[in-house]
Structure 1
């Protein structure tokens, strides 16, 4: 099955978001879009051109944007807020908690330029804590798609979901999988069947996990590969079904090792079926300026790092 998983080209996940906005806006006239002076970076220019009356340029006032979005949701609109992930979460956490999550407002918080792969903008913009922050909010759905097509599908799907959503995606061009890859909120995607080790990956790290699984296969190691695009609600059934086959696990995320996908999986395992687990994530550190590839290598998120983590987990079985 791994031989059939190939890149069909490269596009940024933020481009997938823009395409998803175009599609859902044509379908649903209650969708409105707000931005904090980053329309170009979030790829919403087509929406602005086609639906100027449904577009709100808030300026560099992210906290105000969240409050306005909550008000629009009160009026029956489906607001999508758009800015960088750091400004979508860390800068406005109080507003999200009080005005959106606490009252379960139907606001879609759409966050680009997340993680180390933001690249040269450096540590101040490379938020690595956002998945943990958002998954701790009661009632918040947290989605981290892996490629252009999955991000497009997610941007469409969240309009049909009642309640607050955090949708995280990235800046760089990234390998794409097939366009017909299914997407359902809260339903993990089983990408390859295996018997030796479970690898759970999210976001850009899905591609790293695919490449690592192929390397492991060359050594006769069979990988059960699962794409966890929805961090919350987590597909516990898929996780447990996988580890019951394999007996050990690796979690892969472009995020701090504390609070994100790895921690979420660990909670499931310790409470239901304890097995050895290794974490591929940033180890309690901020990032720095560099190319995406350089940063993934330096901070332990390369393909080789996934392979090493898999071998450590196997050794602990």
Structure 2
């Protein structure tokens, strides 16, 4: 059984290591450092940590100013408030101005769980993906989160990094490469392609195992970078299997499913099923309950694959 670790744990630890190696790293937080685990960085580098308070617009604006001054700021807040309230500051002060700011959205997806329905960000990827110059990264687990933090620092330009709060299975490996904009093939198959992002990689792999028992060969690809998306990998797998299921812990509008459909409609038209939340707001509950409620589970991926395979593939 896979080890369960919270992605925010990997984020906090990676941030400290980054601070040890690079004096230009600064961390800003919207008065939620304990929840975001940026307290790790604050404890070691208090002079490079800034609590801006519950003011996401000021958080992003201040981060942009620090970037202009030559620093590499990591601006942290709850994803729902950060991407919603500070969208204008990210649009103008960060992206339009092309400032080297790392926007970090915490409590992402269903990991906000019992904090309330309005706290569940199921639209954040869509919002961030719409911004010119913004790179959008959604790691699968704590281990990949560590690599993403390092990669975001070395990437010149605006980055949105999505971070989950609660423990999830660690399904990636230490030796797995992490390159911004490059997807990773986790399993080869010939009948259907399962393209996942974030914590849904675990469910995608489980679905592939289930499909295998039923005589269906599934190819599994993990897309940790939603923008720029790895169009080459998506076209390659779709050309091979002719059937694609996308899986995300996010709305099917504007997220991974939309990005994949855009690539395929222009380059390799094949049937696509999108697994995610279907144009609705979140609800309160435990994380496992919400994953069940929204049917973000392997059984839904399996049923989506079978629905596709009943359709006639394009010639």
Normalising by structure 1, report the TM-score: 0.96
Q: What CA distance in whole angstroms lies between the structure 2 residues aligned with 1:59 and 1:153? A: 28
Counterpart in 2 of 1:3?
A: none
Shift of 1:116: 2.1
Pair 1:54-2:22 in alignment: no
Map of 1:116-265 to 2, 5 A cutoff?
Answer: 116-177=110-171, 178-265=173-260
Q: What CA distance in whole angstroms lies between the structure 1 residues aligned with 2:43 and 2:289? A: 37
Deviations 1:225-279 (A, max 9, x none): 0000000000000001111110110000011111000000000000000000001
Shift of 1:303: 1.5
What do you get for the CA RMSD once the two structures are aligned? Answer: 1.0
Counterpart in 2 of 1:309?
A: 304
Counterpart in 1 of 2:80?
A: 86
Structure 2 residue ranges without an equivalent (≥5): none
In 2, are the aligned partners of 1:84 and 1:111 still within 8 Å (CA)?
yes
SS of residue matched to 1:119: helix
In 1, are the aligned partners of 2:36 and 2:165 still within 8 Å (CA)?
no
SS of residue matched to 2:117: coil
In 2, are the aligned partners of 1:20 and 1:156 still within 8 Å (CA)?
yes
SS of residue matched to 2:177: coil
Q: Which runs of 4+ in 1 moved over 6 A?
A: none
Q: What CA distance in whole angstroms lies between the structure 2 residues aligned with 1:64 and 1:298? A: 35
Q: What CA distance in whole angstroms lies between the structure 1 residues aligned with 2:305 and 2:178? A: 26
Structure 1 residue ranges without an equivalent (≥5): 1-5
Counterpart in 2 of 1:273?
A: 268
Shift of 1:122: 2.2
Deviations 1:67-103 (A, max 9, x none): 1000000000000001111122011111111111111
Q: What CA distance in whole angstroms lies between the structure 2 residues aligned with 1:130 and 1:46? A: 25
Shift of 1:23: 1.6
Q: What CA distance in whole angstroms lies between the structure 2 residues aligned with 1:117 and 1:217? A: 30
In 2, are the aligned partners of 1:169 and 1:203 still within 8 Å (CA)?
no
Q: What CA distance in whole angstroms lies between the structure 2 residues aligned with 1:209 and 1:292? A: 18
Deviations 1:142-193 (A, max 9, x none): 0000001001110111000000000002111000022222211000011111
Counterpart in 1 of 2:12?
A: 18
Comparing 266-275 with 89-98, greater Cα deviation is found at 89-98
In 2, are the aligned partners of 1:81 and 1:110 still within 8 Å (CA)?
yes
How many residues align? The count is: 311
Shift of 1:300: 2.2
Q: What CA distance in whole angstroms lies between the structure 2 residues aligned with 1:215 and 1:180? A: 26
Counterpart in 1 of 2:293?
A: 298
Shift of 1:292: 1.3
Q: What CA distance in whole angstroms lies between the structure 2 residues aligned with 1:117 and 1:27? A: 30
Shift of 1:46: 2.2
Q: What CA distance in whole angstroms lies between the structure 2 residues aligned with 1:128 and 1:158? A: 22
Q: What CA distance in whole angstroms lies between the structure 2 residues aligned with 1:169 and 1:253? A: 14
